[in-house]
């Protein structure tokens, strides 16, 4: 299982970096517990549970901070 | 779906940066689960659940930290 | 609605920075959901729910980290 | 109400910095909601609720990160 | 018990860094409470509880931020 | 009560730094509420509650970030 797409934090733009942040954040659950059942309960949590979505948004924000620093904030 | 408005972290002022932080924080839920039902349950969480609002405030704070660093804190 | 008082992160002292951190942290809920009902449920959460207060304290800590960095830690 | 003791982040040692981090973390609740009732429910949360204590420990960790950076990690 | 594999934060690539982040994040529970029962309840939380998985994803994100900085973001 | 062992963030290795991070994270509860009852409920939370363990793992991750920065990531 590939944990970091293209094995790189280099992103051409903030938009690209945001996409990577979301991808990293969502992939971790599967890396921790690689089975189909987990995917189903996580997907359900995102569909019906606002707390799960807000918590996932926080994970995305933390991953994005790292990616933005890695790309020197696209300055 | 556009994830970062104007595909840029560059903001002219702290006020502008704060607005972007709120926008990024609130948009992530929709990026994770792009359907109308999700928008409704998130909006409901913000309307009736103080814990959801405080959790969302934390996401905004983390996004703002990144944006402020990207803009060298408007020094 | 003004999101950052005086549109500046510049603070003359740690005390001043702390006050700004609390202001930013508490204002976000209203920015997300600008109605009076939200103010009431948030105020109630702070009055009666220690978990809400501790969660809000965490948001303040994150905002303060940004403000302290912006002011080069008042060194 | 004084929010930052001695209005300074300067600490002579990690021990001193840790004490300031705990002080800042615990004081925020009172700054948000300055009444005696709040002090009582927070104290009760710390006495009987391990989740409250762990959440407060996280706030302390974030405040300590800021204080340590402000003191250049006492290098 | 070894807390940091190979006693090093040096990683050859983001993929390698991500693997270390997951390893550090998951190992902490065992370091805090080193018994088999804990392993079982944690494993169960990951299998059946989406909130546990999202919370663990956040820990991974924080560990990854440190590892990425340690490796100068593999620039 | 000593809050930072040896009053220093200097660690000879990542392993040593990790041990300090765990020590700081676990000690805060006792610093906040120094009585034996607290130790018992915290210990119980770690033994029986996966959420408590994951939350504590997050505190460790934040403390480790500070310690790693203090030691210039053992580069």
Tell me, what's the pLDDT at A47?
87
CB contact under 8 A, A32 and E22: yes
CB contact under 8 A, A54 and B52: yes
Whether residue D3 contacts residue C19, with contact meaning beta carbons closer than 8 Å, is answered with: yes
Where does the pLDDT of residue B48 fall: very low under 50, low under 70, confident under 90, or very high at 90 and above? confident
Residue F13, chain E, CB below 8 Å: the answer is yes
Whether residue C39 contacts residue B42, with contact meaning beta carbons closer than 8 Å, is answered with: no
Residue D12, chain C, CB below 8 Å: the answer is no
D&F contacts, CB < 8 Å: 97
Query: Does residue C12 surpass a pLDDT of 90?
Result: yes
- What pLDDT digit, counting tens, does each position of D21-51 carry? 999 999 999 999 988 888 899 988 888 899 9
How many Å apart are CA B70 and CA C50, to the nearest integer? 34
Residues in chain F within 8 Å Cβ distance of D65: 62, 65-66
Residue of A30 and D1 predicted with greater confidence:
A30
Query: Does residue A48 surpass a pLDDT of 90?
Result: no
Tell me, what's the pLDDT at F45?
87
pLDDT above 70 coverage of chain D, percent: 100
Tell me, what's the pLDDT at E36?
86
- What pLDDT digit, counting tens, does each position of F8-39 carry? 999 999 999 999 999 999 999 999 998 888 88
Query: Does residue E35 surpass a pLDDT of 90?
Result: no
Query: Does residue B1 surpass a pLDDT of 90?
Result: no
Tell me, what's the pLDDT at E16?
98
Query: Does residue C2 surpass a pLDDT of 90?
Result: yes
CB contact under 8 A, D14 and F7: yes
Neighbours of B11 (CB within 10 A): 19
pLDDT above 70 coverage of chain C, percent: 100
CB contact under 8 A, D29 and C73: no
Q: What is the mean pLDDT of chain B?
A: 95
Name the residue with tokens 């660093």: B69
Which candidate from C19, C51, C61 shows the least CB-CB separation from D52?
Answer: C51
Residue of E21 and A40 predicted with greater confidence:
E21
Structure tokens at A20: 């990577």
- What pLDDT digit, counting tens, does each position of E5-20 carry? 999 999 999 999 999 9
How many Å apart are CA A9 and CA E18, to the nearest integer? 11
Q: For Cα atoms A20, E3, D21, give the angle at the middle one, nearest 5 degrees.
A: 75
pTM of the model: 0.97
How many Å apart are CA C40 and CA E28, to the nearest integer? 40
Nearest CA in chain A to E22: A32
Residue F12, chain E, CB below 8 Å: the answer is no
CB contact under 8 A, B50 and C41: yes
Tell me, what's the pLDDT at B36?
86
Residue D2, chain C, CB below 8 Å: the answer is yes
Concatenate the DSSP letters of all residues of B26-49 into one string: HHHHHHHS-SHHHHHHHHHHHHH-
> For residue E34, with 0-12 CB atoms within 10 Å meaning exposed, 13-18 middle and 19 or more buried, which class applies?
exposed
- What is the average pLDDT across C19-30? 96
Structure tokens at F46: 């770690």
pLDDT above 70 coverage of chain F, percent: 100
Tell me, what's the pLDDT at C22?
98
Cα dihedral: D34, D35, D41, D44 (round 10): 90
How many Å apart are CA F66 and CA F61, to the nearest integer? 9
- In chain A the beta strands, taken as DSSP E runs, fall at none
Structure tokens at D74: 């006492």
């Amino acid at each position: 299982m590939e944990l970091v797409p293209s094995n790189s934090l280099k992103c051409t733009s903030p938009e690209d970096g945001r996409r990577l942040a979301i991808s990293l954040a969502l992939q971790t659950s599967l890396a921790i517990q690689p089975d189909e059942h987990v995917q189903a309960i996580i997907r359900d949590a995102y569909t019906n549970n606002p707390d799960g979505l807000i918590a996932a948004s926080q994970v995305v924000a933390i991953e994005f901070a790292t990616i933005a620093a890695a790309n020197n904030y696209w300055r």
